[in-house]
Structure 1
Amino acid sequence: MSAPSPQSARRTVRITIVLLFAAWLVDYADRLVINLVLPSLGTEFSLSRGQQGLVVSAFFLAYALAQIPGGMLADRHGARRVTLWALLVWSVFTALTGLAWSFAVLLVLRFAFGAAEGIFPPAALKVLVERTRPEERMAANGLIMSSNAVAGVLTPLLIAPLIAVFGWRSAFFSTAALGVVVLVAVRLRLPTPLPRTEPETDGGRPGARGVLRLGMVWRFSAMMFGYSAIVWGFNTWVPSYLGEEYGVSLTTAGALVAVPALAAAGATVAGGRISDRLGGHHRKVVVPCMTAAAVLLLLVAFSTSLTGFLAFGTLASVAVALCYMPILAVPLSGLAPEQVGVGSAVVVLGGQIAGMVVPPVVGALADAFSFQVAFASLVLGAAVAAAMALLTPQDAASFRTATGTSPLPAPAKEPS
């Protein structure tokens, strides 16, 4: 395959970024909707906070279980195909959630929805790797993943008023429709992959299944667990906390949480650019940012005013969001393209386990003690992320050495 022109390569990267941004935006919006409707679900189905947390966890259980199979499917059958199937199936189950009539049905539908979305992250990361150069990958991924924070801004602003007027079921029908629109766009416009530029690896090195046995990859997964414990433990319960503690309506809460979400969007993009500039070296970002986040989370937990809660919460969101791209940088740069599906699935899996475990734990702590104790407990997530940042390779070369995936040496030149 002949090398594409620089202009053609840039166009491939731009289109890929736009399409994956849209897909991740819908993916994350579909997940955030449940946070907004939890009070309505609690009232309609007489659910405790612990049971409401289980509705969230049912999604993350399936999401976590589907990560590695999703990576294997992407490596075997192609990232584009798996991405399209994920978009289609999760949109169907999002719509079906709007038809739920009991707590048990909610759990089943959220589990099925989580399985459909769970195969998407490794496929989407592989789509990106196939269509970007290593030196631009984290900046591109930072732009794409800022969609999560943008969804955090738009979802409450758009969906909360919809819920207030038409009820909680309308939220799921509307986001399902957006998923279908994005599915069509990806199907029609996703560019073909760029020619491979990464060095070939020795055939005796770990293959896709062998990646699962690499302890170093699981340390990155643990780092992602710490990051996501804060994100999901905090974001899941903020609307409920604002309503109970300050009497804030759902619509107003949606507008208020847009502020830290927008700040996190900018921090995610900045984190990607910083990561590319540092060539990895996530320790330089994760350790200081998670230290700052731990202090800020304590200030959030024990703030005595709404203004203080929002100010410290916004700063904590920025500190945590700066860490997201650095956590992914070294594995995505160090793994060979044929290993990216499974390898990225392992890393992302840590985040999904956090999403499965932490919301009900935080809800149970709030029930047993207070939201102050519940939010303060998230400091443990910052400690885990910082510790793993100190125990992992800091660049692609040292990652390959540690995992036995070093590139083949260049062939010897013929003597003249």
Structure 2
Amino acid sequence: MNSATPPDPQTEQQPTKVRWLMILLATLTAVLLYLDRVCISTAGETVAKNLGISKAELDNVLGAFFLTYALGQLPAGWLGDRWGARWTLGIYIFLWSLATALLAFARTLSALLILRLACGLFEAGAYPLAASIVRRWVPAPWRGTASAVIAVGGRLGGAVAPVLTIQLMLAWTHGSQWWSIPNDATADLNSWRPVMGLYGLAGIAGAGIFILLFRDWPHLHPAVNTAELRLIRGSEAVSAGSSQGSSEWPPILAMICSFPMWMNCAVQFSANLGWGFLVTKFPQFLKDTFQSSQQQQGWMQSLPLAAGIIGLFLGGLFTDALTRSCGPRWGRSLAMSGSRLLVFVALAAVPFAGSAWTATLLLA
């Protein structure tokens, strides 16, 4: 008689792949995030002429976005910890998309400013909540990869936004003649309105899809099997987790007194100065300095953003190589400081560029 113990079905069960669907949803959210963020600067010249506002007033609108975006980061993270990413991020996507759609009806500077302030406030929740998705859904060895994939989504949305926005504006203006229009063709002054409406409606649909498909914890998703739960959390956490997050406010005083946090903030601040110029003022710079056409502005703004996708992968490989050879502290510090030095040199050279394409390549 064979007394061998039959195999446990749970030990032979293959993990489902639902965790990667969750990362895909977060990545598509990042695409929408940057599509709605960048589009207004690409259409900025047309928007200013249509509303009769000055360049300085448009600059104030573009800059105001970042004010509420910065202020909204911490509350968004706390709300996500308290209520979970499903409803918190879903509502955030809906609200920033609604604000984008309502831009189509803006007739005054005040309306434009209020709606962009709203966009900044609600977009602030995207990346903090995406980080919580990675933490809850992805096994520790794969979290870096998952975070990079989501970051690529943002770069992809930013790279697509300028070209897509200009082409949609021209298509609205020229209709069936769109394919044959010359490179220096311009869009109608009202052409930005349907584009904003289209982006906003796409985001509202995306919010509904996110809420429908996403779950805050792996054990709450009906398609996740036991093997995937074990893979994500470990055997001791198959039934662990809670649909409710912590209601405690984060340790504000400890963060304020943290020297590493301030150093990280300084690095992020300096890095985002150039990034902010690229996603806000670069099209106007090309127009004023090199008299670039709208189509040229779209392609030139897209190129550095697309190059950022390559930079994410190469930067990760470079940092990993330095970390292996120099250790974690020096490897990461050298990669960070070296890359920031190169960025500084490139940005400092942009005002002296002899052509629009030279300026574009420096930003790339």
Q: TM-score, normalised by structure 1?
A: 0.67
In structure 2, the partner of 1:87 is: 93
How far the C-alpha of 1:71 sits from its partner, in A, is: 0.9
Correspondence list, 1:303-314, <5 A: 303-314=353-364
In 2, the alpha carbon distance for the partners of 1:4 and 1:16 equals 24
In structure 1, the partner of 2:221 is: none
In 2, the alpha carbon distance for the partners of 1:180 and 1:63 equals 20
Count of residue correspondences? 304
How far the C-alpha of 1:77 sits from its partner, in A, is: 1.0
Q: Residue 276 of structure 2 aligns to which amino acid in structure 1?
A: W
Say yes or no: does 1:302 pair with 2:352. Answer: yes
How far the C-alpha of 1:53 sits from its partner, in A, is: 1.4
Choose the corresponding residue for 2:15, options 8, 11, 24: 8
Q: Which runs of 5+ in 2 are unaligned?
A: 1-9, 173-190, 219-228, 238-247
Choose the corresponding residue for 2:211, options 183, 187, 212: 187
In 1, the alpha carbon distance for the partners of 2:73 and 2:156 equals 23
Correspondence list, 1:204-219, <5 A: 208-211=249-252, 213-214=254-255, 215=258, 216-219=260-263
In 2, the alpha carbon distance for the partners of 1:98 and 1:231 equals 26
In structure 1, the partner of 2:337 is: 287
In structure 2, the partner of 1:36 is: 42
In 2, the alpha carbon distance for the partners of 1:56 and 1:146 equals 23
Say yes or no: does 1:231 pair with 2:275. Answer: yes
How far the C-alpha of 1:49 sits from its partner, in A, is: 2.6
Say yes or no: does 1:68 pair with 2:43. Answer: no
Aligned 8 A contact 1:143 1:268 in 2: no
Aligned 8 A contact 1:139 1:273 in 2: no
Choose the corresponding residue for 1:18, options 16, 21, 24: 24
Correspondence list, 1:89-108, <5 A: 89-108=95-114
Q: Residue 94 of structure 1 aligns to which amino acid in structure 2?
A: T
Say yes or no: does 1:124 pair with 2:130. Answer: yes
Say yes or no: does 1:138 pair with 2:179. Answer: no
Q: Which runs of 5+ in 1 are unaligned?
A: 200-206, 315-416
Deviations 1:358-409 (A, max 9, x none): xxxxxxxxxxxxxxxxxxxxxxxxxxxxxxxxxxxxxxxxxxxxxxxxxxxx
Change (3 A) 1:212 1:99: farther
Q: TM-score, normalised by structure 2?
A: 0.76
Aligned 8 A contact 2:19 2:138 in 1: yes
Choose the corresponding residue for 2:157, options 120, 127, 151: 151
Q: Residue 161 of structure 1 aligns to which amino acid in structure 2?
A: Q
Percent of matched pairs sharing the same residue: 24
In structure 2, the partner of 1:249 is: 293
**RMSD (Å) for aligned C-alpha atoms:** 2.7
Correspondence list, 1:345-360, <5 A: none
Change (3 A) 1:42 1:15: same
Aligned 8 A contact 2:159 2:305 in 1: yes
In 2, the alpha carbon distance for the partners of 1:233 and 1:83 equals 27
In structure 2, the partner of 1:204 is: none
Q: Which has the larger radius of gyration?
A: 2
